[in-house]
């Protein structure tokens, strides 16, 4: 997912910009502001609205990050990584102390291993050797290429659509709500 790394701060900035645009361009908030100021509720309503907006933004970001982790874990499993469940409290605590949702190189008894820890969704550890890591890189690259080709095909399909040929197209669909 390309949105997950930018999700937290960019969504917050977008929300602030949208609020200021609506406030300056439409004046919509003036009547609401005067009504709430009269009753002393203005700060409470604003704080509640901001809290709800941030809560929605954070839950959307968490959903995107979980989806990205699920996709990564599928590729790891297909590449030959072995899954180890944190089935005891001690294993779960150790899993939480590890770098989360990133492949990390470790050496043990002269051998190289790659570790992927996920204490949030699957509560598991993926362990693979150099061969599995090579397979993972191939599969991840193939997935990225397929995703880019899919996006390019969608863009081409949208570019080839001649909306003017089909008449007016607004919020109600072709030719308006009366048909």
Residue 5 scores a pLDDT above 50: no
**Per-chain mean pLDDT for the chain:** 77
Structure confidence at residue 84 (pLDDT): 96
Domain interval for residue 92: 4-148
CB count in 10 Å sphere of residue 116: 23
Q: Is residue 10 part of a domain?
A: yes
Helix H or strand E segment including 170:
strand 169-170
Q: Is residue 38 part of a domain?
A: yes
Q: Is the dihedral of CA 60, 66, 72, 75 positive or negative?
A: negative
Element (H, E) at 145: helix 130-160
d(CA 126, CA 41): 52
Residue 169's H or E segment, with its range, is: strand 169-170
pLDDT band for 51, please (50, 70, 90 cuts). confident
| pLDDT given for residue 18 in this prediction | 62
Q: Report yes or no on 163 lying in a domain.
A: no
**pLDDT of the residue at 63:** 65
* Eight-state DSSP code of residue 165: G
pLDDT tens track for 99-117: 999 999 999 999 999 999 9
Residue 66 lies in a domain: yes
Mean pLDDT for 73-82 is 95
User: What distances in angstroms separate CA 140 from CA 73, 75, 79, one per listed residue?
Assistant: 11, 7, 9
Q: Are 125 and 117 in contact (CB under 8 A)?
A: yes
Is residue 179, in this structure, part of any structural domain at all? Answer: no
160 domain-assigned: no
How many structural domains comprise the chain? 1
> Does the pLDDT of residue 122 top 60, yes or no?
yes
What confidence tens digit (pLDDT) does each residue in 83-101 have? 999 999 999 999 999 999 9
Does residue 177 lie in a domain region?
Answer: no
Decide if 176 is inside a domain.
no
Q: pTM surpassing 0.75?
A: no
Q: CA 144, CA 72: separation in Å to the nearest integer?
A: 12
**From CA 93, how far away is CA 119, in angstroms rounded?**
9
Alpha-carbon gap, residue 91 to 60, rounded angstroms? 29
Average pLDDT over residues 173-178: 54
Separate counts of helices (H) and strands (E) for the chain: 5, 6
Q: Is 174 exposed, middle or buried (0-12, 13-18, 19+ CB in 10 A)?
A: exposed
């Amino acid at each position: 997912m390309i949105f997950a790394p930018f999700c937290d701060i960019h969504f917050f900035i977008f929300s602030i910009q949208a609020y200021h645009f609506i406030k300056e361009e439409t004046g919509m908030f003036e009547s609401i502001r005067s009504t709430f100021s009269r009753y002393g509720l203005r700060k409470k309503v604003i704080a509640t609205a901001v809290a709800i907006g941030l809560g929605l933004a954070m839950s959307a970001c968490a959903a995107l990050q979980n989806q990205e982790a699920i996709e990564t874990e599928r590729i790891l499993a297909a590449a030959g990584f072995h899954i180890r469940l944190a089935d005891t409290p001690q294993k779960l605590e150790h899993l939480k102390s590890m770098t989360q949702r990133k492949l990390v190189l470790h050496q043990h008894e002269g051998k190289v291993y790659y570790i992927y820890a996920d204490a949030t969704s699957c509560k598991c550890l993926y362990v693979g050797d150099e061969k599995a890591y090579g397979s993972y890189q191939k599969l991840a690259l193939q997935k990225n290429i397929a995703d880019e080709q899919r996006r390019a095909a969608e863009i081409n399909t949208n570019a080839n659509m001649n909306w003017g040929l089909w008449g007016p197209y607004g919020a109600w669909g072709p030719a308006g709500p009366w048909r």
